[in-house]
Each structure stands twice: as C-alpha cells, then as structure tokens.
Amino acid sequence: MITFEEAQKVISESKFNISTEIVDIKDCLGRFLAEDIFSDINMPPFDKSAVDGFACRKSDISNNLEIIEIIQAGSVPVKIVGTNQCSQIMTGAPIPQGADTVIMVEDTLEIDNKFVRSKFDSVKQNICFLGEDIKENQLVLEKGISINPAHIAVMATVGYVNVKVAKKPKVSILSTGNEIIEPYLKPQKSQIRNSNSYQLIAQIKQSNAIPFYSGIVDDNEKSTYEAIKKAIEVSDIILITGGVSMGKFDFVPKILAEIGFDIKFHKISIQPGKPTLFAEYNGKFCFGLPGNPVSTFAIYELLVKPLIFKLQGSKLNNKNKRIKMQLGIDFNRKNDDRKSFLPVFINDKSEIIPVDYHGSAHINSLCLADGLAEIEIGIKFIHKGEFIDVRLF
C-alpha cells in the first residue's frame, strides 16, 4: 500500500504522447490549446477614439473649436486638426493628425453648427493608443490552457481561426459484478442499479474527454478478459469499477497482468478509495476503481482527472486546485490511520461543513457537497475555525 502522494507521483511520471488536431475557432471551447499563439498585428492597430466626442489639441481645450470634419468608425480622417480646430469623432474611429485629445460629447457645449467648446479646462485624453493592448508578434496565449470564451475573443482578434488542440482522450468504462443491473431495470433481491458508470460518463465529459460505456461485465475471468482486451483497442484509459479488491471473484489484477499491464500500485492509504489499482500497457492506462460510488467519484476527481488533463497537455494538471478554507464546526473522525477526503459543503459564512455522510456507499451525500476536504494521517480532531485544504468540484 502506498501513500496518496506516492500514487500521484507514479501517475504524473507516466509516459504518453499528446495527439493533436485542428478545429475551427467556433468549435474549440473547452479544448486544450496545443501551441503558443502570437499576434499578427498591433492592437489597437491605430490610435483610436475611446469615446464619441471631438478630437482636438489639448492646448486648445479652453477655446472655441471649429468643427472641420466628421470621422465615423471605419473611415479614415482626411483633414489635419490645427489650432482651435476639432474633428467630430465616433468611438473606435482613427485619431486625426494634429489631435492629441478627445473631449466627450457630454462634456461640450455647442456654440453653433460649426463650433463647440469644452465645459471643463481639463479632460481625459480618451485615446486608445496603437499597440497598447497587444504588440505585433507578442505571445498572447500559451499552449496547455483550457480554452474559454475570453481566449476565443483573443484568437479572433489576432486572426487565429484554425485552432490546434489536443485530441480528446478516449475513456472506456467497465462495471463488474453479477449484482449490478442497468438503471432502467427494477432491482430484485441482492441486486443494485449501476450508478458508477453513469456518474463516470458525466465526469469524463466534464473533463473534456470521450466516454465509451462497455456495459456490465459478468464476474468471471473469460468475460473480464475479453472486455478489457476490447477496451484496449478503442481507448486511452480504461476505468474498471469493482473486481479489484481481495474477494474470490476479483479477477481484474490477475487478468491485467496476463494481458501485459504493468501494475504500478494496488492499494492507496486513503479513505475512501483504498482498493485502487493503476496499471500501464503500451501507452495505455487502466484504473481499477472501488465499487462503492463515493470512492469511485473521489478517485476519479483526485487521480483520473489529472491524468486526463495531462494527456491533453494541460498546464493546470487538475482544475480542482486545493484551497485553504475554515472549518465551520468542531470535527472528530473515528479513524486517523489513512488520509481522508471528506465531502463538505460551503455555508453562508464561506466556511466548510461536513455533509451527513455514512460511508463510501452513501452516494446522495455528494449531491449536497461542494468539494472534498483533505485530512491528513494522524489528525483525529479539528477545531472550528482551523484552515484545511479543500478541493472544490
């Protein structure tokens, strides 16, 4: 059995290749950028007005100003602004030669159809200058980011419309157990509905990966062997729920070894999720996940998701970063021999409170949770107000 930190290190040091593809800018949201992006222009590409107003010389602000031209956005000024002159200008239009200030329309008084005057002796410059936002050839976006709407706006600004992204990893899901049935069936005695697979499908989609549901596998070696072999052909990662513990019908570790997987670890000193397996085979990866749904959920968030992000070249490794939050109540746990990940919710004081949690089979407890609080080995009691690490969902 290894520690959680050792398990993280083993997974992070795994060898893999990042495959890429080109997608249209309209289709890149949520994907991981696979190359640096540089600007092909200065932005703004010219000195432009930040407001609707009158472009003039700062030294003439206190004087009556003759309107010599009207400059619309998208047009080019043709007249040079001289002493005691101005050009009426629209937001986004180029600043005419000779002007160094724009007086906002609402800060002017109209003298007649040809003259205006500033209401104030001092005004803001109201000019967006050439290249003040982005310089030509400037690095604007780094590879490895998860593309959001703001990134897409930058891409459009610099003309980057064919976006190089990492391919989405393909993740197969196998559920083992003769007691497991599909959700559309009514459980008989000794049967339970398959919640793990559908939970994992949703988590995989949230991780920008592609799920393949392989169905429920019977608890026998032949069926398990064939299901894993088939999954290897179509996926980068295989997730197997159940069948990895020490029971009579837990065939998964033996079968993985027969196929050629190198089993890196088989137990982790954490709660929930102790009977977790991780293995590698020719650039493919397999997680054997515990059968209880809270354990499955937690191990996915803590270990599987970071690997999925790494396969896409993510700079973040795991979006669910740890943050320090205050505990809202005194908390005492029964066992302190393993690191614990406890479902918690955030109250109206921005404190964390443990949810009513009966163990790793208590799946509906997660519906109330905002994250997992991380409690180290050897810590049994935590006082209200103490800060602890929390991984928000």
Model confidence pLDDT, tens digit, residues 41-97:
999 999 999 999 999 999 999 999 999 999 999 999 999 999 999 999 999 999 999
Instruction: Give the model's pLDDT for residue 267.
Output: 92
Total number of domains constituting the chain: 4
Instruction: Give the model's pLDDT for residue 27.
Output: 97
237: confidence class by pLDDT, cuts 50, 70, 90: very high
Q: Which has the minimum average pLDDT: 58-62, 96-100, 188-192? A: 188-192
Bridge partners (DSSP) of residue 181 are 193
Domain stops at, among 120, 146, 166: 166
Structural domain harbouring 286: 4-17+167-310
366: confidence class by pLDDT, cuts 50, 70, 90: confident
φ/ψ bin of 202: left (φ > 0), alpha (ψ from -120 to 50), beta (otherwise): alpha
* Count of Cβ atoms closer than 10 Å to residue 323 Cβ: 11
Residue 56 lies in a domain: yes
Phi/psi of residue 135, each to 5°? -95, 150
Q: Tokens 């899901």 — which residue?
A: 173
Domain stops at, among 128, 153, 178: 128
138: confidence class by pLDDT, cuts 50, 70, 90: very high
361: confidence class by pLDDT, cuts 50, 70, 90: low
246: confidence class by pLDDT, cuts 50, 70, 90: very low
Instruction: Give the model's pLDDT for residue 62.
Output: 93
Instruction: Give the model's pLDDT for residue 260.
Output: 94
Residue 105 lies in a domain: yes
User: Are residues 78 and 34 part of one domain?
Assistant: no
Helices and strands per DSSP (H, E), number in the chain: 7, 28
Average pLDDT score over residue span 145-158: 96
* Residue 83 to residue 160: CA distance in whole angstroms: 43
Q: What is the DSSP letter of 158?
A: T
pTM of the model: 0.86
Instruction: Give the model's pLDDT for residue 335.
Output: 83
Contact 172, 133 (CB under 8 A): no
Q: Is the pLDDT of residue 249 over 80?
A: no
Q: Is the pLDDT of residue 140 over 80?
A: yes
Bridge partners (DSSP) of residue 70 are 88
Nearest one of 185, 173, 187, 193 to 361, comparing CA atoms: 193
Percent of the chain at pLDDT above 70?
95
Contact 174, 231 (CB under 8 A): yes
107: confidence class by pLDDT, cuts 50, 70, 90: very high
User: Are residues 221 and 327 part of one domain?
Assistant: no
Q: Is the pLDDT of residue 320 over 50?
A: yes
User: Are residues 236 and 184 part of one domain?
Assistant: yes
Domain stops at, among 251, 284, 310: 310
Instruction: Give the model's pLDDT for residue 31.
Output: 95
Instruction: Give the model's pLDDT for residue 66.
Output: 97
Q: Is the pLDDT of residue 309 over 80?
A: yes
Average pLDDT score over residue span 368-382: 92
User: Are residues 279 and 174 part of one domain?
Assistant: yes
Instruction: Give the model's pLDDT for residue 248.
Output: 42
